[in-house]
Chain A
Amino acid sequence: MKELEKIKRISIVSILFILAVLIGLLTYKRPKNTYAINTEKTLEKITNNHFFITLENINTPDYVLIDVRSQNEFEKGHLEHAINIHTPEILNNSAFFKELKKSNKIAILYGENPQQVNIPFLFLYQLGYDNIKLLTVKNSYSQNKLITKTCDIEKLEADISAFINESVKNSKIKVTPKKTIQPPKKIITVQKKKKKAPEGGC
């Protein structure tokens, strides 16, 4: 009699457990968009890989031009055969990017300037679309016409310390080296969780 009672209890508990797991499985919501690579890998890839492309090299059938500016700007003028996908709408078009990746085509993003394109580029990159490149151009308008110019990225435009020295020389002032007050060194303390004092004892 006792044995039977025990079996009954075990079977009830196990059925409940299986039910809980099943319900969990069925109601599990798969997130719509997921990252494909973590931040460290992304950093490693973007610092090593060459993902820039210049204006001269884009005339290949494998390339699809994508304009990340707003629709308004796009209608004013755009590069030939370009498709308009505004940056905030990028997630709604993820099917399009998936298709591009499947068909081994390379998406080339461009916008007003490379800094603007940088944002959707890095975002898509983290979602796993590594078939994208960044067109290093600056777009501006002149007499109602879109003018596209190649431009540099992260290029230092002037030698600042040389400029400062030059200015000091020109001004013929004896500049006594200023004693700048060094602010106290920045020490950032990482907060450690306090270990709890061992409890108990009698």
Chain B
Amino acid sequence: MINRKLVKFLSFRYVILALLFIILAGGLVLLPKFEKQEGIKPEQLLSNIISPERYITTDELADRIINQDPSLLLIDLRDEETFKKYSLPNAINMPLKNLFDEDSSAFLNQDAYDVVFFSNDNFDADQAWILCNRLDYKNLYVLKGGINRWFKTIINPPHPKENMPLEAFKLYATRKAASMYFGVAYPDQVKTNVPKRPRPTPKKVITVKKKKKAPEGGC
């Protein structure tokens, strides 16, 4: 009697097992909701975004542009219209809303260049940086203060007052020189603009007469 029931039950054993596995597999579908999270962990992101390491000052940037740093890649996040009016030399226009277009990811997700984001101030640039940082893109920077500070410090540097320390004057001189590089002209520039080139003095050539030695010897 028992044996027969057992046999009947056992004839379904594979079906039962299969069903059990399918149910378990269904449970696995629900799990990865958390694993599918895009990018780095929120805790990590928070600690990244509150650190000011991403900022680069206008002076540093000017220095790198003037020295023609080949690893520098400037990205202008403003719209096309403002980009055409004025932008930093050799910058690439990439409006914020196009940040994740297909073409842009080649610029952002790489490790060959130091990418500097900038906008009018650093509001949009920060947003772009935060989103890219979540995707774990490396070598990204933000121009602190953006174009507005660029204008205030590099293009039109404030003249230091007389009671300011020497450093302020030195900084002003550097910034002024930088602004000249970026196309600003000053009324008192005339002399500095045309450096006198020393005339090349003809080279004196002193010829040394070689004494010919009479062949010695012989018999």
Contacts and interface: CB of A to CB of B under 8 A. Distances in A.
Contact of A126 (B113, B119, B134, B150): B134
A91 B43 contact: yes
A160 B86 contact: yes
B202 to A, nearest CB: 30
Given A34-B37, A123-B45, A47 B97 contact: yes
Interface string B1-44: 00000000010010001001100100110010010011101110
Interface stretch (B158-166, B167-175, B187-195, B203-211): B187-195
A46 B127 contact: yes
Contacts, number: 158
B130 A119 contact: yes
B155 interface: yes
A171 B185 contact: yes
B185 A173 contact: yes
Interface string A101-138: 00000000000001100110011001100000000000
Contacts of B119: 154
Main DSSP-derived SS at the B contact region: helix
A188 B107 contact: yes
Interface in B119-137: 119-124, 126-127, 130-131, 134-135
Contacts of B28: 21
B112 interface: yes
Nearest to A39: B131
A119 B85 contact: no
B182 to A, nearest CB: 8
Contacts of A144: none
B39 to A, nearest CB: 7
Given A154-B119, A160-B86, A160-B151, A118 B126 contact: yes
A119 B126 contact: yes
B100 to A, nearest CB: 5
B187 A172 contact: yes
Interface residues of B, number: 67
A182 B90 CA distance: 8
Contacts of A188: 106-107, 110, 112-113
A5 interface: no
Interface centre among A17, A40, A160 (most CB of B within 10 A): A160
B218 interface: no
A202 interface: no
Given A43-B97, A47-B97, A164-B183, A173 B193 contact: yes
Listed from nearest, the 6 A-B pairs whose CB atoms lie closest are A171-B185, A47-B97, A33-B42, A160-B86, A161-B86, A168-B185
Given A91-B46, A156-B120, A183-B68, 11 more contacts: A14-B20, A39-B135, A40-B100, A43-B99, A47-B97, A122-B49, A159-B85, A159-B86, A167-B184, A173-B193, A188-B107
10 contacts: A7-B10, A18-B24, A46-B127, A91-B43, A123-B46, A154-B123, A157-B148, A158-B151, A164-B155, A180-B89
